[in-house]
Amino acid sequence: MRLAKRHENLRPSGMVRMFQAIERMEGVLNLSIGEPDFDTEPDIVEAAAKAARDGFTHYPPLQGFYDVREAVCRYWERHHGLKSKPEEVYMAVGAMQVPHLAFGALLDPGDEVLLVEPCFPPYFSQVEGNGGIPVAVPTREESGFAPTVEDLRRAVTPRTRGLLLNSPCNPSGRVVPRAQLEEIAAFVQEHDLFVLSDEIYESLVFSGEHVCLATLPGMRERTLTMGGLSKSHCMTGWRLGYAIGPEEVMRTMTLISAVQTYGLNTLGQKAALYALDTQDAKLLERRAVFADRMAAVAERLNSMKGIRCHRAEGAFYLFPNISGTGLSSEDFSWRLLESAKVATIPGSAFGRSGEGYVRIACTQSRDTLMRAMDALEGFVKAL
């Protein structure tokens, strides 16, 4: 069977290749995947089961149940001061669906989107898949991998239509401070851009504060806030995401999705309704656990020759600089996997700005993380 020409050169990303290799191995200490090791809380599971018993087993509204969208609005106003209405919310099949639908709704062929590197690899394909042109905006460790307005000015052109910004950031763990976001907001308004603000890690901030970009002056009408329950509520397998943004964009995204997924699963939505309203204390408990793990792993990394690691401000990733070992990101990650059975993601998988780094997900127990650090330390000593 002949593949479509547009997919003839399709290859797995550096992240996907690592995941595929791990599947074929046993006994791997897996620090590669951004999935919390906590199971979904039993009372959330029961909320879904009760919904099934109560007959919520039919097609859902395409944009999502109204009461679920109301819960999203309550959560964001309570936590981040973002005031919105249910008509400005779209319930997505995982947060991953949001950029695809948003770019489909907002991009014309040839429109450019600025992507701040290092960044989540699928962003590039999602822009290209909707006729756009992804433009990498390099950042540097000395600026905390946060984009400056100067970085953005070097990348913007008359064809630039939008900006994708991720804070807290995967992979760097950077939380962009308010003053810097205000400068970025002014730049965005100056160039009449839209922003897709990926705030999926909003509940995991260890230092500083999470500032919702849409709450800044002049940004509400040009920002799509991207969120979900995978990281905050440990519901990765439920595929529960959402977008908050201008009502007309939500309507268009809904129409595009009607010929793709035809709505988000009913029972998951009812679980989300319960979770968004009841789990704030659990979010704080898990955040403290992740903060402890991150600090412990960063301390171990900084004791190893050739490695330096800044403490992350948010998310649950560390992004140590491994250039002092003399290895490239790819060589370091693959040799570490093969010789010590510790899985990480090479920083180059997140764009050119990630070369010289690896991503470590602190999503395992403290004991597992320390065993992985023992193995990593032995690997580095043997180089």
Q: Cα(316)–Cα(331) distance, rounded to whole angstroms?
A: 23
Which pLDDT tens digit goes with each residue over 130-141?
999 999 999 999
Q: Which CATH superfamily is domain 5-40+281-382 in?
A: Aspartate Aminotransferase, domain 1 (3.90.1150.10)
Tokens found for residue 321: 């600089």
Alpha helices in 203-279 (DSSP H): 247-257, 266-278
Distance CA 161, CA 153 (A): 13
Dihedrals phi, psi of 202, to nearest 5 degrees: -60, -25
- Residue 9: its pLDDT value, please? 74
Give the H/E segment covering residue 180.
helix 178-190
Per-residue pLDDT tens over the stretch 114-160: 999 999 999 999 999 999 999 999 999 998 899 999 999 999 999 99
Q: How many Å is the Cα radius of gyration of the chain?
A: 21
Closest CA to 305 of 225, 206, 383, 204: 383
End-to-end CA distance of the chain: 46
What is the model's pLDDT at position 25? 82
* pLDDT tens column, 59-82: 999 999 999 999 999 999 999 999
The torsion defined by the Cα of 181, 183, 186 and 187, in degrees rounded to 10, comes to -100
Give me the residues of the chain with pLDDT under 50, please.
Answer: none
Q: Where are the domains of the chain?
A: 5-40+281-382, 42-278
Task: List Cβ neighbours of 265 (8 Å cut-off, separation of 6 or more).
Answer: 60, 93, 239
The set of residues, in sequence order, having a beta carbon less than 8 Å from that of 46 and lying 6+ positions away, is: none
Q: Which helix (H) or strand (E) element contains residue 225?
A: strand 223-228
pTM equals 0.95
Cβ neighbourhood burial of 223 (10 Å; 0-12, 13-18, 19+): buried
- The pLDDT value recorded for residue 287 is 97
Question: What kind of fold does domain 42-278 have according to CATH?
Answer: Aspartate Aminotransferase; domain 2 (3.40.640)
Contacts of 319 (CB under 8 A, 6+ apart): 118, 145, 171, 172, 173, 309, 310, 312, 347, 354, 357, 358, 359, 360
